[in-house]
């Protein structure tokens, strides 16, 4: 497979990698080489990609590898699409100047090609939310970026400092997808109103529904969208999940006193 060139200064300062879970952050450069000369690779059978990249990593499991792929996709690092019944991944921004062989050499004659051409419209729809969230000055990013990883980090004069300050000032996120972002404050409000709901699981369902039914359109009002979605999930009539906040506090106090709850 083709050799890869990584800008480590950009990778170490990447907002997108910083947004990933700690267990996934260090895996980015390890599996980046999965891509062909076009920055893409096949993901139809994750076991194949896993066996190629983690043959010497005995502490890594296939399940964790699948979680890493999902994490990179959720944070804007890896665009995933399906074509002719097969699943493919593309490292966002990998086609920036200097990152790939010249176009004339991106053919099977010079090396294996693992994926069909990336659907440009779908890729644009996928990366647009991340550009708006991570870049404080898109023009400067386009002109001065040296981020070969395609992570949207502009390193022109003063832009890196601006992005770092913006990232620090940003509100903590409870869930992030290509279509909507749930802040921790919004998540706490939803938790208080809908205590019986597995919110993280529902957020994933919502993102999948948008991808399948709304052609990837981004949600404008996340809290209202979540509320409408959760309102359709009935509250259990029995058990702790169906209690009001006051009743739940009373129940917790009784259980703390050694009394057992009986339905």
More confident residue, 10 or 22: 22
DSSP 240: G
Same domain, 180 and 208: yes
| 141 in a structural domain | yes
- Residue 112 CA to residue 169 CA, distance in Å, equals 44
| 47 in a structural domain | yes
Q: Which two tokens stand for residue 175?
A: 């869930």
Mean pLDDT of 139-154: 34
| 206 in a structural domain | yes
Mean pLDDT of 35-47: 89
Mean pLDDT of 49-56: 93
| 1 in a structural domain | no
What does pTM read for this prediction? 0.49
Which residue do the tokens 């903590």 mark?
172
Which of 169, 185, 201 is the last residue before a domain boundary?
A: 169
Same domain, 29 and 158: yes
| 178 in a structural domain | yes
Residue 91: strand pairing partners? 78
Same domain, 68 and 140: yes
Same domain, 155 and 111: yes
Which of 29-43, 48-62, 226-240 shows the lowest per-residue confidence on average (mean pLDDT)? 226-240
Query: Does pLDDT of 86 surpass 90?
Result: yes
Which of 4-8, 14-18, 82-86, 258-262 shows the lowest per-residue confidence on average (mean pLDDT)? 258-262
Q: How many percent of the chain have pLDDT more than 70? A: 65
**66 CB burial (10 A radius; 0-12, 13-18, 19+):** middle
* 185-242 pLDDT tens trace: 899 999 988 998 999 999 999 988 888 886 667 888 888 889 989 998 888 765 445 5
Q: Which two tokens stand for residue 5?
A: 């060139």
Query: Does pLDDT of 151 surpass 60?
Result: no
* 238-255 pLDDT tens trace: 544 555 666 666 666 667
| 101 in a structural domain | yes
Which of 150, 169, 188 is the last residue before a domain boundary?
A: 169
Same domain, 149 and 50: yes
Q: At what angle do helices 199-213 and 184-193 cross, to 10 degrees?
A: 110
| 116 in a structural domain | yes
Same domain, 154 and 220: no
pLDDT for the residue numbered 77: 93
Which of 60-74, 76-90, 207-221 shows the lowest per-residue confidence on average (mean pLDDT)? 207-221
Which of 18-22, 84-88, 165-169, 170-174 shows the lowest per-residue confidence on average (mean pLDDT)? 165-169
Same domain, 201 and 223: yes
Same domain, 134 and 19: yes
- Residue 97 CA to residue 101 CA, distance in Å, equals 9
pLDDT for the residue numbered 24: 94
The full length of the chain comes to 263
Mean pLDDT across the chain: 76
Same domain, 109 and 180: no
Please state the domain count of the chain: 3
121: domain range? Answer: 8-169
Which residue do the tokens 């981004």 mark?
218
- Answer for the pair 10, 146: CB distance below 8 angstroms, yes or no: yes
| 3 in a structural domain | no
Mean pLDDT of 56-66: 92
DSSP 88: E
Same domain, 40 and 156: yes
Same domain, 68 and 152: yes
Query: Does pLDDT of 1 surpass 60?
Result: no
Same domain, 95 and 193: no
């Amino acid at each position: 497979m083709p050799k890869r060139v990584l800008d480590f200064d950009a990778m170490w300062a990447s907002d997108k990698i910083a947004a990933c879970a700690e267990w996934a952050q260090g895996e980015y450069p390890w599996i980046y080489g999965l891509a062909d000369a076009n920055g893409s690779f096949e993901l139809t059978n994750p076991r194949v990609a896993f066996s190629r990249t983690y043959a010497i990593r005995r502490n890594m499991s296939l399940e964790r590898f699948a979680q890493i792929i999902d994490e990179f996709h959720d944070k804007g690092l890896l665009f995933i699409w399906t074509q002719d019944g097969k699943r493919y991944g593309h490292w966002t921004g990998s086609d920036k100047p200097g990152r790939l062989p010249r176009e004339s050499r991106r053919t099977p004659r010079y090396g294996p090609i693992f994926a069909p051409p990336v659907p440009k419209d779908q890729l644009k729809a996928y990366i647009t939310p991340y550009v708006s969230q991570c870049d404080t000055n898109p023009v400067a990013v386009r002109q001065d970026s040296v981020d070969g990883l395609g992570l949207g980090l502009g390193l022109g004069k003063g832009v890196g400092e601006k992005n770092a300050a913006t990232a620090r000032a940003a509100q903590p996120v409870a869930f992030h997808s290509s279509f909507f972002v749930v802040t921790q404050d919004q998540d706490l409000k939803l938790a208080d109103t809908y205590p019986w709901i597995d919110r993280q699981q529902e957020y994933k369902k919502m993102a999948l529904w948008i991808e399948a039914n709304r052609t990837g359109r981004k949600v404008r009002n996340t809290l209202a969208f979540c509320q409408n979605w959760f309102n359709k999930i009935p509250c259990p009539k029995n058990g702790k999940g169906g209690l009001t906040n006051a009743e739940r506090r009373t129940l917790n106090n009784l259980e703390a006193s050694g009394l057992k709850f009986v339905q």
